[in-house]
Chains A and B, each alone.
Chain A
Amino acid sequence: MTRNFAAWPIILLLTVLSLPLFVMYLFLLVDTFSNTAPGSLLPNEFTLEHWRFLIDPTITGDVWKPTLTTFLFASSMMVIVVSVSATAGYALSRLALPFRRFVLSGIMVMHAFPSVTLIIGVFLVLQFAGLYNSLTGVILVKASLMLPFGIWIMKGFYDAVPWEIEMAGVQDGASRFTVWRRIILPQVKPGLLSLALFAFIDGWSEYMLPRILAPSSDFEVLSMYLNTVSDPNSSTYNFNIFKSVGLFYTLPVLALFVLFQNRLMNIFGGGTKG
């Protein structure tokens, strides 16, 4: 920007402020490959033993089954969120609907509204619907709670597509569905991709909903698995193993984040244009 000002005081302040984060993430990485003597801060030996849980299920239990479950959970939720938002967002952006204003403001309220407060109500709904303790139930709930956000994001992307392109499609004799499918959808691909990434990461990291809505079901997602491993009362309690499992769990998310950082940035802002 400028050389008028000395940069070091703010860099120093910034560094001090960022130190806890830096230390935590640095040691998250370092501790998985090393051992540290009790009471000491710095590791004293390199080891791969904390990663043995990947091949040896006796250490923390089989990690691959929860991984697969988590993948299924995150991807089904992603598919639901993306497909439902892609259609509903288009309808709200472009199509004549009864009560359109009302529905739109309702979705905006839901978007701003903190959905965790509904968890008790959701719990009761699942009880009545017989979906309590089922993977399907949790997927539906997670997807639904994300829908207002997804619809809002997609509506924003659709709004940015020029009306003339849509009109041209209609003039060329295509039905509104064909126009959506063959002309508009390709224009919002970046939106679909961002939303899909965000939904997947969100689903992958989810802990509360499976824990509360399916506490004793057969499936276990990685977040619950990790929580079991990290239980201080468990015999396997060991920060280093926990960190290895945690890092293993977080790697896909980190990879996606690094690859698609720019796409995710604006969606992390809450999808808001405020």
Chain B
Amino acid sequence: MQISINNFTKTFDGTPVIDDMNLTIRDGEMLALLGPSGCGKSTTLFTISGIHRMDRGQLMFGDRDVSGLPSQKRNVGVVFQNYALYPHMNVFENIAFPLTVRKDNKADIDREVRAIAALTHISELLERRPGQLSGGQQQRVALARALVRKPDVLLLDEPLANLDAKLRLEMRSEIRRIQLETGITAVLVTHDQVEAMSMCDRIAIMKKGEIVQIDTPADMYSNPRTSFVAGFLGNPPISFLSGIAMENSFSVAPIKLRVPLGVHEGIADGTQLKLGVRPEHFGPEGDIAVEGKIAFAETQGRENLYDVALADGSVLRSIQPAGRNWALGEPVRWFIDSKSAFVFSNDGQRL
């Protein structure tokens, strides 16, 4: 089911949290709301679920206006960060709860619960209490409970935050698998770009109550609209150089760096600019030479990570395949791949 949010505004105790937001979640897609804490992503999620009330705006489930309806009348499934399983009920009762309050008959409940338990691979846990389950198992129960009554939309609030690294990898693909198998529309709230990129069809990046960009993970990575987006996606993160426009080039005078602006011609000389260079676009190969010294080196096994300090003190990050290992303090002359670098105006807009 398609979910659309129109002109949504929300304040808490006079502090604006969301300002005039518009967002459409397509039927059957999994969308990530990605952003730093306090950006309004959870507020948006809880508004869709019916916990928060909109100050202004409209929320549509398909062609149904649900803005004024409480959660109970919205048919939304939510997986909470701490799973919020009912501690006094066993797994079966937890999953069956949405059906029992709907007063389904016993045979139906039993069938539905077993079917969803099979889908989420917890059939053998039905008699256990939440306290006897591992984090990953609790996660699966929470998913099963959220899905059992076939909601219009599934909302996931930082679902992997409480899991250890190994389980996180496992549940990442599990959640995606279950979402694809059920074909449900889903919204994932996270501050972890890896999660967002690996699990979702599209990502909406939020900052201070606004959606900065909404795109597929690949497009967003290769074509960020602002320096904030460019900085948020990618691990290790992008590095930025500050400079000015000079004769159709990005120029950092003290180190005599000039990167042609290419298509962005006609920028007045002297305009403050920022150049974003991803680690994979700075290294021994490329077209624009930069001299510096290795200021930091980290071995990650398959790859090595370097910080190269330039003469003016700014730093460029680089990721290189293991093999030729540079030592700390070693002087290097490396190259920026100018076609892949992003140029931003001083206020962060991509040029």
List the interface of chain A (C-beta within 8 A of B). 162, 164-165, 167-175, 178, 182-183, 186-187
- In the complex, B217 has a CB within 8 A of chain A: no
Q: In the complex, are the beta carbons of A173 and B72 less than 8 A apart?
A: yes
Contact of A170 among B72, B82, B86, B87 (CB under 8 A): B72
Q: Return the CB mask of B72-87 against A: 1 if under 8 Å, else 0.
A: 1001111011101111
Find chain B residues with CB under 8 A from A171 CB: 49-50, 71, 76-78, 146
Contact between chains at A173 and B87 (CB < 8 Å): no
Q: What distance in Å separates the Cβ of A141 from its nearest Cβ neighbour in chain B? A: 35
Q: Check if B256 is an interface residue, CB within 8 A of chain A.
A: no
Nearest-CB residue, chain A, relative to B155 = A171
B302 near A: Cβ within 8 Å?
A: no
CA distance A256 to B165 in the complex (A): 48
**Closest B residue to A189 using CB positions:** B88
Complex interface: chain B residues within 8 A of A186 (CB): 86, 88
Contact B84 A172 (CB under 8 A): no
How far, in angstroms, from A262 to B145 measured CA to CA in the complex?
Answer: 36
Q: Which of B76, B81, B84, B101 contacts A174 (CB 8 A)?
A: B101
Contact with A along B125-169 (1 / 0, CB 8 A): 000000000000000000001100100000000000000000000
Question: Chain A contacts of B72 at CB under 8 A?
Answer: 170, 173-175
Complex interface: chain A residues within 8 A of B71 (CB): 167, 170-171, 173
Q: Contact check: which of B46, B84, B146 meets A165 at CB < 8 Å? A: B84
Cα(A170)–Cα(B49), bound, Å: 10
The answer to whether B102 has its CB under 8 Å from any CB of chain A is yes
Interface centre among B71, B102, B146 (most CB of A within 10 A): B71
Give 6 new A-B contacts, CB below 8 A, not counting A172-B149, A173-B71, A173-B98: A167-B78, A168-B145, A171-B76, A172-B98, A174-B97, A175-B72
In the complex, chain A residues whose CB is within 8 Å of the CB of B51 = 167, 170
B70 contacts partner chain A, Cβ-Cβ < 8 Å = yes
- The closest CB in chain B to the CB of A168 belongs to B84
A219 to B78, CA, bound (A): 57
> In the complex, how many angstroms separate the beta carbon of B70 from the nearest chain A beta carbon?
7
A-B contact pairs, 14 of them (CB 8 A): A167-B49, A167-B51, A167-B71, A167-B78, A167-B84, A168-B78, A170-B70, A170-B71, A171-B71, A171-B76, A173-B71, A173-B149, A178-B101, A187-B87
**Chain A residues, CB < 8 A from B49:** 167, 171
Contact across chains for B86 and A165 when beta carbons are under 8 A apart: yes
Q: Which of A172, A182, A183 contacts B145 (CB 8 A)?
A: A172
Residues from chain A with a CB closer than 8 A to the CB of B82 are 162, 164
Q: Mark B96-115, 1 if CB is under 8 A from A, else 0.
A: 01100110000000000000
Partner of B101, one of A165, A167, A173: A173
Total CB contacts across the A-B interface at under 8 A: 61
Residues of A within 8 A of B98 (CB): 172-173
Q: Is the CB of B50 within 8 A of A164?
A: no
Give the chain A neighbours of B85 by CB distance below 8 A: 168
Closest B residue to A164 using CB positions: B84
A173 touches B84 (CB 8 A): no
Chain B residues with Cβ below 8 Å from A170 are: 50-51, 70-72
Closest to A174 in B: B101
Shortest CB distance B148–A (Å): 9
Q: Mark B47-69, 1 if CB is under 8 A from A, else 0.
A: 00111000000000000000000
Question: Is the beta-carbon distance between A172 and B80 smaller than 8 angstroms?
Answer: no
- Compute how far the CA of A170 lies from the CA of B46 in the bound complex, rounded to whole angstroms: 12
State in angstroms the CA–CA spacing of A162 and B75 once bound together.
22
Best-surrounded residue of A172, A174, A178 (most CB of chain B within 10 A): A172
Q: Which B residues between 283 and 306 are near A, CB-CB below 8 angstroms?
A: none
B53 to chain A, nearest CB (A): 10
Cβ–Cβ < 8 Å partners of B46 in chain A: 167
Contacts of B75 in A (CB 8 A): 173
Given A162-B84, A187-B87, A173:B78 Cβ within 8 A: no
Q: Which residue of A lies closest to B149 (CB)?
A: A173
**A169 CB contacts on chain B under 8 angstroms:** 86, 97
Query: How far in angstroms is the closest Cβ of chain B from A133?
Result: 45
Residues of B within 8 Å of A174, CB to CB, are: 72, 97, 101
Nearest Cβ in chain A — how far from B76, in angstroms? 6
Minimum CB–CB distance from B309 to chain A (whole Å) comes to: 46
Closest Cβ–Cβ distance, residue A191 to chain B (whole Å): 14
Q: Which residue of B lies closest to A165 (CB)?
A: B84
Q: How far is the CA of A182 from the CA of B96 in the complex (A)?
A: 13
Most buried by A among B46, B49, B86, B87: B86
CA distance A174 to B146 in the complex (A): 13
Residue of A nearest to B76 (CB): A171
Q: B149 — which chain A residues lie within 8 A by C-beta?
A: 172-173
Q: Is the Cβ of B101 less than 8 Å from the Cβ of A164?
A: no
Residue numbers in B under 8 Å from A183 (CB-CB) = 86
- Shortest distance in angstroms between B168's beta carbon and chain A's nearest beta carbon? 20
Q: Least Cβ distance of B184 to chain A in Å?
A: 15
- Indicate which residue in A164, A175, A178 contacts B80 across the interface (CB closer than 8 Å): A164
Q: In the docked arrangement, what's the CA distance between A172 and B82, Å?
A: 16
B101 touching A168 by the CB < 8 A rule? no
B76: A residues at CB distance < 8 A: 171
Cα separation A169 to B86 with both chains bound (whole Å): 9
Distance A173 CA – B98 CA, assembled complex (angstroms): 6
Of chain B, the residue at the smallest CB distance from A185 is B88
Which A residues are CB-close (under 8 A) to B146?
171
